[in-house]
Structure 1
Amino acid sequence: MNPLLTVKMKPITKTFFKGLIAIIPLTLTLYLLFWLAATVELALGNIFKLFLPESWYTKGLGFVLGLAVVFFFGVFLESRPFRHLFRKFEELVNQIPVVKSIYSAIRDFISLFSGKQKGKFKQVVLVNVPHGKGQQIGFITVSDFGEVLPTLVSNDQIAVFLPFSYQMGGNTVIMSRQNIINIDMSVEDALRFIATAGVVGNVEDEKNKI
């Protein structure tokens, strides 16, 4: 093959992949947003038709209704009596065996994106991987077991969640405090770092690159 042609192809290939890397995340994000909006529209649109005349319904009204419901529910949660009633409802839900597990898992996952609670992740740590294979970033979820597992866990042990990269899920391990190192890293930055296998780090650094 002509070397000159090969040299010309390299910039073209580089430019193509640069555009590909930029457009794929944007396309997938827009697709997921449209899918979520369509799902909300379908569910709440049908509920709207149950209580009001179908002639009043126009496409998109279900989505708008969903936004309004979420907003006003948040406003109501600012009220102490409504917040108390909601906690009572959660207590009832947590008494149902299977529903309790599903509800708690979804609630804890959503709370990860709350700037107020940071989920149940208490501290970002480095965990020593066995057999000298390096270290892994994890999150302390239980630092004091108390009455949870008093006969199975010793006082110097903690629970650490080790999430996977590029997928949901992870492993929760109980280990000695001697096997972890506390690091000065926010939960958001650590989650971003792990989820992208280290490709994306501190959010402020990423903003400065733009």
Structure 2
Amino acid sequence: MKRYFVTGLLIWVPLGITLWVISTLVGAMDSLLLLLPEGSRPKDWMGIHIPGLGVILVFVVVLTTGLLTANILGQRLVKFWEEVLNRIPVVKSIYGSVKQVSDTVLSDSGQAFRKALMVRFPHGDAWTVAFMTGAPAPELACKFDEEHIAVYVPTTPNPTSGYFMVVKKADTIELDMSVDEALKYVISMGVVAPAPRPAVAAEPACKPVIRPKTPVDHNLPG
């Protein structure tokens, strides 16, 4: 009975959490309909509440915004709006930081979170999965003799918190897995391993990569 019960949990727990997350997101988007003027809300002229209309509204608003700002006039309006926000004392700090991060992560030309790596952390005898976020700032890069890269080391099972590190590029190992696969691997605490890649010709599927160990201070704080 214990084995059957655990098997049932493995089926229903992921499904239940998935439905709960979707229901929460849909409910949050549907609440945006309350921002519409009275009389123009779907419930007012349809007589019933239909779940999911908020999702359609958000999709239409985001898509319309993208279409309007894709031309020169729209870009000028966005620039004017950003100049207005940048003059508000508290808002400019929050908006500027969030926009910089979103532009870096979501931009097609950026390198943020485009590669999954292995780096030595938290000491020289251990390895962990990290994500490349780009090149270090010029003020940092000029302090090094060798090429360094900026990486983000996520914590598990909550990858939204982690550590920002600048490490030698030669001391990192690029993984043959997508960022999504690496993220699932981190969130599952190593339980959900990525599917092995097919071996090329007669070469083994995985070759050991030897890297000289960089001396690291093992007496890390608390």
Do they superpose with TM above 0.5? yes
Map 1:1-210 onto structure 2 (within 5 A).
Answer: 12-43=1-32, 45-50=33-38, 52=40, 55-56=44-45, 58-60=48-50, 61-76=53-68, 79-81=70-72, 84-85=75-76, 88=79, 91-92=82-83, 96-105=92-101, 107=102, 111=106, 120-129=112-121, 131-143=123-135, 145-146=137-138, 148-149=139-140, 153-156=143-146, 157-167=148-158, 168-202=160-194
Percent identical pairs in the alignment equals: 24
RMSD: 3.5
Aligned CA distance change for structure 1 residues 55 and 127 (closer, same or farther; 3 Å): closer
Alignment CA distance shift 1:109-1:191 (3 Å): farther
Greater helix share, structure number: 1
CA pair 186-90 structure 1, distance change in 2 beyond 3 A:
farther
- Residue 8 of structure 1 corresponds to none
Partner Cα separation in structure 2 for residue 196 and residue 86 of structure 1:
44
1:126 partner SS: strand
- More moved, 172-181 vs 80-89: 80-89
Query: How far does the alpha carbon of each residue in 1:6-34 deviate from its partner, in whole angstroms, 9 at most, with x for none?
Result: xxxxxx21111111011111111111111
Amino acid paired to 1:48: L
Report SS of the residue matched to 1:49.
coil
Consecutive unaligned residues of structure 2, counting only runs of 5 or more, are: 198-222
Opposite residue 125 of structure 1, the aligned amino acid is L
Distance 2:82 2:144 in 1: 30
Between the aligned partners of 2:137 and 2:82, the Cα distance in structure 1 is 22
Q: Quote the residue 2:200 is aligned against.
A: none
Aligned residues: 186
Query: 1:108, 1:120 within 8 Å by CA — same for their partners in 2?
Result: no
Query: Contact between 2:39 and 2:45, CA under 8 Å: does it hold in 1?
Result: no
Check conservation: 1:48, 1:62, Cα contact below 8 A: no
Give me the TM-score of the superposition, normalised by structure 2.
0.66
**Mapped contact 2:104–2:112 kept (Cα < 8 A):** no
